Amino acid sequence: MDSTISSASLAAALPDAARQVLAQIQARNRRFFVSVVLVVIGILALLFGVLSLLGMDLGFMYEWLGFLLAGIGYTLLVAVLAISLACIIALFGALGRLSHNPIAYGIATFYVSLIRGTPLLVQVYMWYLALPQIGQALEAVGVPYAASVLTLPAVPAGILALGVCYGAYMTETFRAGIQSITAGQTEAALALGMTHPQVMRRIILPQALRVVIPPIGNEFISMVKDSSLVSLMGVWELSYRATKIGRRYFRSLEMLLVAAAVYWIMCIILQAAQGRLEFRMSRGERKRGQA
């Protein structure tokens, strides 16, 4: 598509046969694009057709849309705080996994193995339901305030559960990002006389960060949806509101569809934001004319 201008300016100098080939290629590209749009429209039409056959109450959906949207606040709050926590944990986790210090390596490896090996759902309940029990037991043996400190309200429990869980997955992402930077970078920095922490901070991490931005964006998008797990603890976020209203009026299909659509739109916006961030982070890799 962007070849329009250049091929037009070249056209004068090109032989007719070559121009025809270029035109055919352009036509093929345009055909592909148009076909994809048609396919998507077709899928949406089919979906709407099926849904209207089921006798969906569009008015009801519209009526409660505002109420559902009010839950976005909690959804985003939980997701943003949890992903921030996860990034911090993942950074230290990755440094631990790459460390020559047996304590750091041992702790990081155990953490990743344990958290990745257990279901998120179980972990959420652990933070919310099991932790208070531990607190009470500790208080019983004389640790002051243990019960009240370890009895977490739903939102902090959810943020901790999601942050700690995603931190484990992202530890491996960060580790891979750090390891993707070639040994030559470390060698060049060491040859200048840098210490290992300086090499990490000044040379490796800035480059590794750019590598892990796409996977972090990916994790964040998945986090936005997993944040619905905090509804299990009665937080009035998006999906909790949807199931509540759906059950009350026996309109679960409508409410869940609205909730799904809201999640989807949020994720589309996040994907776009991720694309822009990646572009801005690609300083140094960009070629002329791309700025």
Partner 1 sequence: MTTSIIRVCGLHKVFPPDLHVIRGVDLEVQAGEVVVVIGPSGSGKSTFLRCLNFLEDPTLGEIEIDGVTIQAGFLNKKQHEQVRAIRQKMGMVFQSFNLFPHLTALENVIEGPVTVKKAPRSEAIQKGEELLAWVGLSDKRAEFPSRLSGGQQQRVAIARSLAMDPKIMLFDEPTSSLDPELISEVIEVMERLAKEGMTMIVVTHEMHFARDVSQRVIVMDRGVWVEQGPPGQIFTSPREERTRQFLAHIL
Q: Which residues bind partner 1 (CB under 8 A)?
A: 182, 184-185, 187-195, 198, 202-203, 206-207, 210, 283-288
Find the shortest distance in angstroms from Cβ 192 to partner 1: 4
3-state secondary structure of 71: coil
Find the shortest distance in angstroms from Cβ 275 to partner 1: 20
Smaller CB separation from partner 1, 13 or 191: 191
Residue 248 CB partners (closer than 8 Å, separation 6+): none
Find the shortest distance in angstroms from Cβ 38 to partner 1: 39
Cα separation, 174 vs 181, in Å, equals 11
Find the shortest distance in angstroms from Cβ 190 to partner 1: 6
Smaller CB separation from partner 1, 28 or 196: 196
Q: Are 219 and 213 in contact (CB under 8 A)?
A: no
Smaller CB separation from partner 1, 8 or 103: 103
Smaller CB separation from partner 1, 133 or 185: 185
Cα R_g (the chain), whole angstroms: 26
Cα separation, 262 vs 243, in Å, equals 14
Q: In this structure, what token pair is assigned to residue 158?
A: 């959810």
7's enclosing H/E stretch is: helix 3-10
Cα separation, 270 vs 221, in Å, equals 7
Q: Are 3 and 27 in contact (CB under 8 A)?
A: no
Find the shortest distance in angstroms from Cβ 280 to partner 1: 13
Find the shortest distance in angstroms from Cβ 199 to partner 1: 9
Q: What is the number of other CB atoms lying within 10 angstroms of the CB of residue 197? A: 9
Cα separation, 188 vs 203, in Å, equals 10
Smaller CB separation from partner 1, 109 or 207: 207
Smaller CB separation from partner 1, 158 or 177: 177
The values of phi and psi at residue 18, to 5°, are -65, -40
Q: In this structure, what token pair is assigned to residue 61?
A: 């959906």
Smaller CB separation from partner 1, 205 or 230: 205
Give which of 111, 199, 235, 98 is closest to 163, Cα–Cα.
111
Cα separation, 17 vs 274, in Å, equals 42
Smaller CB separation from partner 1, 210 or 241: 210
Q: What count of residues does the chain have?
A: 291
Find the shortest distance in angstroms from Cβ 103 to partner 1: 18
Find the shortest distance in angstroms from Cβ 177 to partner 1: 13
